[in-house]
Amino acid sequence: MTMVPGTVRPRRLRTTPALRRLVTETRLHPADLILPMFVKETLSEPAPLTSMPGVVQHTLDSLLEAANEAVDAGVGGLMLFGIPEHKDNEGSQADDPEGILNRALTLLRDNLGDETVIMADLCLDEFTSHGHCGVLDASGGVDNDATLSRYASMAVAQARAGAHVLGLSGMMDGQVAACREALDLEGFTDVVIMAYSAKYASAFFGPFREAVDSELQGDRKTYQQDPANGREAMRELDLDLAEGADVVMVKPGLPYLDVLAEVACESPVPVWAYQVSGEYAMIEFAAAAGAIDRERAIEESLIAFKRAGADAVLTYWATEVAQRLNSEQSGGAR
Ligand code: PBG
């Protein structure tokens, strides 16, 4: 006797490419993708990163070129990270108007105006000699409250340099309130604060250290969240909202889709996710070894973010994927 299914046959809706396209719940759009970019002082040529094949540290010239390419592809925005020639204990280049990040922001804003959304990473780890996200106290720990005044000063410098959005990624308590107050006092009431609300002390940031020439001393466990904890993400979300965050973020991405989904359910403001350096490297290296199909894996991972509730995703593949989406638009059923 053959077993016969009932009248309900889920396969019916999968029979043709056109039908599958029609019933797709989640779609990628170029405007949902944000491109993180690295710009380094003292470079004369773009420098490829060995731990992130396909990603470079830019010169100011190559940064502008890549920014134009991304904007032409229709990406939603650009997130800038700067690597100064001189790092010190206080990260003094971070709020110097002549610091590399601030110069790069001005260059992009002067050339692109409001055509795209220009964002700045607001954190000290790219600028400090010890590699921590804040300044240190006498015992070598990260001093939360002393760091807040550094962040406030960075916020004003980045706003002055032309950033539309500030990405507060340092995980200091009170950082959103401190930056909002400083911005408003200087008249930058329209500068957007995107708070990395749930940011975990993650191994998946590994390649980022090469990208920003960081030699971190110790770890970030006293300020970034324990990967074992989901509940405190909701507490961080509540605090960031109360302090005035305009957008919130969950990071890393794929290993934290449960956290992303919960934040997306609760948040009254847009929720973004960051597909971080280690996630990028895993797919690139696995694909290079022939283990997975590169383009399908990239697309599937991005769809997963959107399905979990992200409104936009920071991804090092933003330009490539946006270009592919544009060229597929006319025909391409999946
Ligand atoms: C902090 C910051 C980091 C990343 C983005 N902002 C590093 C960290 O917190 O250790 C990581 C991004 C990535 O890994 O792609 N400035």
Name the percent of the chain lying above pLDDT 70: 99
Mean pLDDT of the chain: 96
| Ligand 1 atom nearest 167 alpha carbon | 6
| Ligand 1 atom nearest 124 alpha carbon | 16
Question: At 88, is the secondary structure helix, strand, or coil?
Answer: strand
Assign a CATH topology to domain 28-328: TIM Barrel (3.20.20)
Q: Is the pLDDT of residue 330 over 80?
A: no
Residues with CB under 6 A from ligand 1: 121, 123, 125-126, 133, 169, 205, 208, 220, 276-277
pLDDT mean over 286-302? 98
d(CA 221, CA 3): 55
pLDDT for 334 equals 46
**Surface-to-core class of residue 327, CB atoms within 10 Å of its CB (0-12 exposed, 13-18 middle, 19+ buried):** exposed
> What's CA 67's distance to the chain center, in Å?
16
pLDDT for 331 equals 53
Q: Is the pLDDT of residue 95 over 80?
A: yes
From ligand 1's centre to the CA of 126, what distance in Å? 9
Looking at ligand 1, which residue's alpha carbon is closest to its atom 16? 123
In this prediction, residue 5 has a pLDDT band, given cuts at 50, 70 and 90, of: confident
In this prediction, residue 6 has a pLDDT band, given cuts at 50, 70 and 90, of: confident
From ligand 1's centre to the CA of 276, what distance in Å? 8
Contact present, 200 and 189 (Cβ < 8 Å): no
Query: From the annotation, which residues make up the binding site?
Result: 209, 220, 236, 277, 316
From ligand 1's centre to the CA of 208, what distance in Å? 6
Question: At 63, is the secondary structure helix, strand, or coil?
Answer: helix
Contact present, 109 and 66 (Cβ < 8 Å): no
| Ligand 1 atom nearest 170 alpha carbon | 1
Mutate to test the pocket of ligand 1, among 51, 101, 121, 169 (most ligand atoms within 8 A of CB): 169
Tens-digit pLDDT profile for residues 295-318 = 999 999 999 999 999 999 999 999
Looking at ligand 1, which residue's alpha carbon is closest to its atom 8? 205
Looking at ligand 1, which residue's alpha carbon is closest to its atom 7? 205
pLDDT mean over 11-39? 97
- First-to-final CA distance of the chain: 36
From ligand 1's centre to the CA of 199, what distance in Å? 9
d(CA 166, CA 156): 10
Q: Specify the pTM.
A: 0.96
pLDDT mean over 251-272? 98
In sequence order, the 6+-apart residues with CB closer than 8 A to the CB of 297 are 283, 286, 287
ipTM of the complex: 0.96
Domain residue extents for the chain: 28-328
Pairwise pLDDT comparison (271 vs 4), residue with the higher score: 271
pLDDT for 333 equals 42
From ligand 1's centre to the CA of 232, what distance in Å? 20
pLDDT for 261 equals 98
Catalytic residues: 199, 251
Helical segments of the chain, H only: 17-22, 60-72, 100-112, 144-161, 175-185, 206-211, 231-242, 257-266, 277-288, 294-308, 318-328
Query: From the annotation, which residues make up the binding site for Mg(2+)?
Result: 236
